[in-house]
Amino acid sequence: MGSAPAQIPTSFGHELRACLRCRLVKTYDQFRESGCENCPFFKMDEDHERVVDCTTPNFNGIISVMDPTRSWAARWLRIGRFVPGCYTLAVSEALPEDLQNLCEDERIQYVPPKRV
């Protein structure tokens, strides 16, 4: 096991949200309480407004990645570098601009979703 897994969603309904950067899926409350394991620099746990900005309820499909480094699916979806956890296959929205800038400042790559 490479790294500690992220929190696992505690429910499966529409409380679920996906991080707009790493696509980690958790409930709103989970994001609010402990932020995103892959994107700590968003500091969602410190600023609850951030949760709304950094995550979206609109996502498509869930993938539980147990072993990101050895999962072909994770590699294909480009989440192979993230911690094990539940992710979504795709988000449609892009990160708000100010947060994209934040990524830039942190020298974290952000790749906006491709529009279909």
Partner 1 sequence: MEDEEYDDEQALDDLEDEEEEDDRSSKKRRRSEFIDDVAEEDEDEEEEDYDDEDEDYGGGGRGGGGGGRKHKAKRRTGSEFFDLEAQVDSDEDEEEEEGEDDFIVDGGADLPDEVDGRGIHRRPLLPREDEAEDVEDLERRIQARYARSSHTEYDEETTDVEQQALLPSVRDPKLWMVKCAIGREREAAVCLMQKYIDKGAELQIRSAVALDHLKNYIYVEADKEAHVKEACKGLRNIYSQKVMLVPIREMTDVLSVESKAIDLSRDTWVRMKLGSYKGDLAKVVDVDNVRQRVTVKLIPRIDLQALANKLEGRDAPKKKAFVPPPRFMNVDEARYSHCFLIYVRELHIRVERRRDQITGDYFENIGGMLFKDGFLYKTVSTKSISAANIKPTFDELEKFRTPGENGESDMASLSTLFANRKKGHFMKGDAVIVIKGDLKNLKGWVEKVDEENVHIRPEMKGLPKTLALNQKELCKYFEPGNHVKVVSGTQEGATGMVVKVEQHVLIILSDTTKEHIRVFADDVVESSEVTTGVTKIGDYELHDLVLLDNNSFGVIIRVESEAFQVLKGVPDRPEVALVKLREIKYKIEKKSNVQDKNKNTVSVKDVVRILEGPCKGKQGPVEHIYRGILFIYDRHHLEHAGFICAKSSSCTVVGGSRGNGDRNGDAFRFNNHRPPPRVPQSPRRLSRGGHQNDYGGRHRGGRGGHDPLIGTTVKIRQGPFKGYRGRVVEIKGQSVRVELESQMKVVTGKLLLMWGNLFSFLFHGYLYGQLTTVLFAVDRSYISDNVVVSTPYRDAPRYGMGSETPMHPSRTPLHPYSTPMRDAAGIVF
Interface contacts to partner 1, rule CB under 8 A: 1-6, 8-9, 12, 14, 28, 34-35, 37-38, 40, 51-52, 56-67, 69-78, 80-86, 89-93, 107-111, 113-116
Residue 62 CB partners (closer than 8 Å, separation 6+): 25, 86, 87, 88, 89
With respect to partner 1, which residue has the nearer C-beta, 73 or 100? 73
**Distance separating alpha carbons of residues 96 and 53, to the nearest angstrom:** 7
> Which of 68, 86, 91 minimizes the C-alpha distance to 78?
68
Asked if 111 and 91 count as a contact pair (C-beta separation under 8 A), the reply is no
Token pair 């499909």 is found at: 61
With respect to partner 1, which residue has the nearer C-beta, 85 or 102? 85
Extract the tokens encoding 103: 């990524």
Q: In whole angstroms, how close is the CB of 101 to partner 1 at the nearest point? A: 15
Q: In whole angstroms, how close is the CB of 104 to partner 1 at the nearest point? A: 11
Q: In whole angstroms, how close is the CB of 67 to partner 1 at the nearest point? A: 5
Q: In whole angstroms, how close is the CB of 72 to partner 1 at the nearest point? A: 4
